[in-house]
A and B are shown apart, each in its own frame.
Chain A
C-alpha cells in the first residue's frame, strides 16, 4: 500500500502496524470509533511594509490527535511528539471517555481511490525565499505606481504545505498533501494631506507559486487595493434603514456563508439549537435560489481531497430552488442524525476535534443580466466588496460588513458610500431575493472561517443578487 510513500512513513518511520496498534490502544476501554490525525505543517509568511521586507517567518509544527467516540461522547488527546510512547499515552488519555467492552468489529486499514484536486507545479513553501520576496516587492511597486495619493503599502505573502495521515477504526487510511497560499495587499491613500482611507485586496488558493507570477499577479491585486482606497476618498455616509440591496458577484457570497451556511452545520441541528433546525423540506429562500457547498473544485481555497476525518469531499446541495435540502455533517453528527457524513468534518489542526464546516459555498447562476438588475432599482444600495461577517445561529441573525458600496438612484450607480454593516435573519433574508444574475463568480481565495475558536480556509461565491429588503446600518439619511 501507499503508506510508505507518505511523509510520515519516510520521515518518522510510521508503519500500518503502528497505526493499528494505536487504534487498538485507543479502543482498549471500549468505544464505537477512534481515529488518528497526523499533521506536519510547514508555514511561511513574508511581509513588505514601507518598501522594506521587514519580516519573514518560517516554521514547522507537527503532532498527532487521537479521538475516541462512545455514543455521543468524545475523548480527545494529542501529542506534539511522534515518539511511540507519547502517542500510546495520548491514546490512553482519549480512551478514558469510553466504558465497557468495545463493540466494533476490527477491520484492516485500506486506502481508497486517490484523487488530486490541487496538483501544483511548485508548492509556494518549497520555492526559494527570494522568489516569494519578489512577489511582495512587485505588489509594493505596483500599488505605489498606481496613484500619487497612495502613501502606505503593506503586502504579505503567506503559504503553507500541510501533510496529513488519517487512520480510522472504520478502516480508512488516507494521506494528503495540502498546499495553500495567499497574498494580501493593504493600501492607504490620502488627498492633500487629509484623512487617510484604506483599501484591501488579495487572492490565493491551493495553488503553487507559479500561479502568482501571472494569472493571480501581485500587480492586479495591488491595483485593486489602491482603487478601493481611492474610491473611499470620495465616499459619503452610508444610509440607514431597510432598503433594496444589490450584491455584486464573488466575495459578497459571504452572505450565504453567514445567512444559511453555518445554520446548516449538522452539529447545531442535531442539538436543535439552529434557527434552521427541523426545517428540511421547508421553503427558506425564493425559488431563484439554489445554494451548494462544494469541496471538490480544483485549486480552490476551500477544497480538500478528503476532509479531516478521511472522507472524500463532495458537492452538497443545501438549498434547491428555495427549499432546504440538507445539512453539512461530519461522522459523529451524521450518525446521530441517521445520515452519512457529507465530507464536511474539518479541524484547524491536530490539537482540535473535527466538526461540520463549510468548504466552498456558493449560489448557482440565474438568468438576469447584471446591468438589468441595477437598472431595475429606483433607490437602493449596490455592494461589491465586503469585510467579515458573523451569525448568531440560534436567532438566525447575521451581519456582514460592506467596505465598498454605491448608492443606486433611478437605476444608476451614483455616489460611493462609506463602510456599513448589513443585517438580516437567516431563514428570512433569502426569501426577498427577486433577481439572480447570470454572472456567478467565486471569490479570489482569501476567506477564513472561524467557529468555536477554530479557523479553516473557505471559499464563497454568488452571481449578482437583488434582495428587495435588507437593513443597512449606516448613519446617513
Chain B
C-alpha cells in the first residue's frame, strides 16, 4: 500500500533542498491480463510497477520531476532535478498550492477497492474469457472469427501529500471482461465488442451476456450501405452519447475556458443547451470509476452541476485555473505522476429523461442511429464537429438497415441546443456516462 507518510517525507525533503512549497504523488499498480482467441489461451501478462512524482515551487516558479526508481538515491535525484528546474522556469503570478482551508478528503468508504480482484485465480480468469468468446462464437453461424476475449484486472494505490499539511492515500481496483467477435456474410466483414468493467468481479456481467451482446452488435452491422447525404435527426446510443459528454467536459474545463479556447467560454449563465440537458460532475458516488476522496491537489471531491436545464452553471476548475478566472477550485485537479495539475472530471454525466430509447426511436420518421464514431474531427475552440460513423438507418420508427462509411457533422453548440430528447436509462460504464439522446438535425454525409 502506497504510503502517505512517504509522500509527505519527500515533500519535506524538497523544502530542505530549497523549495518553498512541494507536492508529491506516489502510485503503484499490479496488472494482469488473460487473453484467449479461437477457444485457446493466447496471452498471459502479469506485473507490477511503481512511480513517484514531485512538483516544487520556489516562490512563483514551478519545476517537476518523476522517477520509477524509489530507492533513496532515485528519490534524491528526483528532488534535485525538480528544484533545479524551478530555478530556471519563469515567475507565474498565479502559480501556487490550494489554500489550506480548501485541503481535505471526503469521509467514508467510497468502495473503490475490492479484495476479490486480487483473489481470483488465473484459471478462473481464463475460463471466464473462454466462456465469453464461446458465447459470441455460438450465437450465430455468421460469427466466424474472433479477435479474442480478455479478462483484465488491476489493483493500485495512490498517495498524495503537500507541504501545507495534506497527506492522503487510497486504493482502487478494477476488472473487466471483453470480447470482439467477427461476423461475415456475402463478402461483408464486421467486428464489434462488448466490455463489462467493475470495481469488483461480482459486479461484472456474466460471460454469456458479454458474448451475446458482442455478437448481436457485430451481426447487426453486416451488409452496411452508404446513404445519400442528408440533414436528418440523429440518435446517439449510450456508447456514442458518452463521447459527446467528453467534448462538453473539454469545453467547460478551466484550462480551455481561461484561454477562451472553448466554444462555451464567456457563456457562463447563458442558455447553451436545450431544456432537456442537465449535466453533473460528481466525484463522490461510491464504487464508480470517476470517484475519489480527494483530487490531485488534495482538495475534496464534490458534486458540481455544470449545465442545469440548458443553462451553463459552472466551470470545472483546479486551483490554477480558478485563480486565472477569479473563482474557487471545484476539486477537479488531475495530473499523471508529475507536472502542473490539469483539470479532470469525476463521474461526468447527463441526467436521464422520461422516455425509453425504444419510444424515442419509434418517434423518428427518418434518421440515423449511431453505434460507432471514429476519428478526431472535433474542434473545441470553434465547436466544429465532424466524425466518421456507423449505425442503423431509421425509417418510420424502425431500424431499416445498417449504414457505414458516412460522417455526421454539425457545430457542438447547435448540437447541445438541438437535443430534443434524452432517454431514461443511465448506466455508469466508465467515468463519463450518458443515456441515449436525439439531436434534431445533423448533416449525414455519404454518397
Contacts and interface: CB of A to CB of B under 8 A. Distances in A.
Given A74-B42, A395-B404, A401-B376, A421 B224 contact: no
B396 interface: no
A241 B447 contact: yes
Contact of A395 (B77, B190, B382): B190
Interface string A418-438: 111101110000000000000
Interface of B: 37, 40-47, 49-51, 53, 62-69, 74, 77-78, 81-82, 84-85, 88-92, 95, 122, 145, 147, 182, 189-191, 221, 224, 226, 229, 259-261, 263, 337-340, 372, 374-377, 379, 381-382, 384, 386-388, 390, 404-411, 443, 445-447
Interface of A: 45, 52-63, 72-80, 90, 93, 96-97, 129-130, 133, 152, 188, 195-198, 232, 238, 240-242, 271-273, 275, 351, 353, 387-392, 394-395, 397-401, 403, 418-421, 423-425, 471-475
Given A188-B261, A241-B229, A473 B47 contact: no
7 contacts: A58-B81, A74-B44, A75-B43, A188-B381, A273-B191, A399-B387, A423-B445
Contacts of B408: 473
A232 B90 CA distance: 32
A238 B261 CA distance: 21
A267 to B, nearest CB: 10
Contacts of A418: 382, 384
Given A77-B46, A475-B443, 7 more contacts: A54-B90, A58-B81, A76-B46, A241-B447, A401-B386, A419-B377, A472-B407
Contacts of A240: 229, 407, 409, 443, 445
Given A273-B191, A423-B388, A59 B67 contact: yes
A54 B89 contact: yes
A391 B41 CA distance: 27
Contacts of B65: 57-59
A136 B224 CA distance: 48
A390 B407 CA distance: 13
A270 to B, nearest CB: 11
B182 A394 contact: yes
Contact of A57 (B339, B374, B409): B339
A54 B62 contact: yes
A353 B190 contact: no
A379 B224 CA distance: 29
B229 to A, nearest CB: 4
A129 B90 CA distance: 12
A260 to B, nearest CB: 16
B56 to A, nearest CB: 11
A196 B382 CA distance: 7
Contacts of B42: 72-74
B49 A351 contact: yes
Nearest to A68: B44
A9 to B, nearest CB: 18
Interface of A is mostly: strand
A272 B184 CA distance: 11
B85 A58 contact: yes
Given A55-B62, A74-B42, A400 B405 contact: no
B63 to A, nearest CB: 6
Contacts of B90: 52-54
Contacts of A390: 374-376, 388
Nearest to A422: B407
A475 B381 contact: no
Contacts of B405: 397, 423-425, 471
B274 to A, nearest CB: 19
A196 B68 contact: no
B190 A54 contact: no
A56 B63 contact: yes
A42 B374 CA distance: 33
A78 B51 contact: no
Contact of B68 (A62, A97, A130, A425): A62
Nearest to A129: B88
A383 to B, nearest CB: 12
Contacts of A90: 47
Nearest to A429: B405
A56 B189 contact: no
A-B interface, 5 closest residue pairs, ranked by CB to CB distance from nearest: A473-B407, A399-B375, A399-B388, A59-B66, A421-B377
A57 B338 contact: yes
Contacts of A351: 47, 49
Contacts of A55: 62, 64, 89, 339-340
Contact of A423 (B82, B338, B407): B407
Contact of A271 (B74, B147, B384): B147
Most buried by A among B37, B44, B49, B407: B407
B145 A272 contact: yes
A7 B257 CA distance: 45
A152 B259 contact: yes
Contacts of B261: 152, 188, 196, 198
A399 B69 contact: no
B230 to A, nearest CB: 9
Contacts of B374: 390-392, 397-399
Given A57-B338, A72-B42, A129-B84, A421 B64 contact: no
Nearest to B383: A195
Nearest to A71: B40
Nearest to B261: A188
Nearest to A428: B405
A394 to B, nearest CB: 4
A399 B407 CA distance: 9
A201 to B, nearest CB: 16
A435 B179 CA distance: 42
A241 B443 CA distance: 10
B49 A56 contact: no
A401 B44 contact: no
B95 to A, nearest CB: 7
A198 B381 contact: yes
Contacts of A241: 229, 445-447
B11 to A, nearest CB: 17
Nearest to A352: B45
Contacts of A63: 49, 68
A353 B190 CA distance: 26
B376 A188 contact: no
A420 B377 contact: yes
A275 B445 contact: no
Contacts of A425: 405
Nearest to A133: B88
Contact of B375 (A59, A75, A400, A403): A400
Contact of B189 (A72, A129, A195, A275): A275
A198 B417 CA distance: 24
Most buried by B among A62, A471, A473: A473
B47 A77 contact: yes
Given A54-B95, A76-B44, A273 B147 contact: yes
A97 B407 contact: no
Contacts of B47: 76-79, 90, 93, 351
A77 B40 CA distance: 20
A194 to B, nearest CB: 11
Nearest to B81: A58
Contacts of B259: 152, 188
A78 to B, nearest CB: 4
Given A394-B189, A394-B190, A420-B409, A57 B66 contact: yes
A96 B338 contact: no
B49 A80 contact: yes
Nearest to B410: A475
B45 A77 contact: yes
A151 B109 CA distance: 46
Given A74-B43, A196-B381, A130 B190 contact: no
A473 B387 contact: yes
A103 to B, nearest CB: 19
Contacts of B62: 54-56
Nearest to B61: A53
Contacts of A72: 40, 42
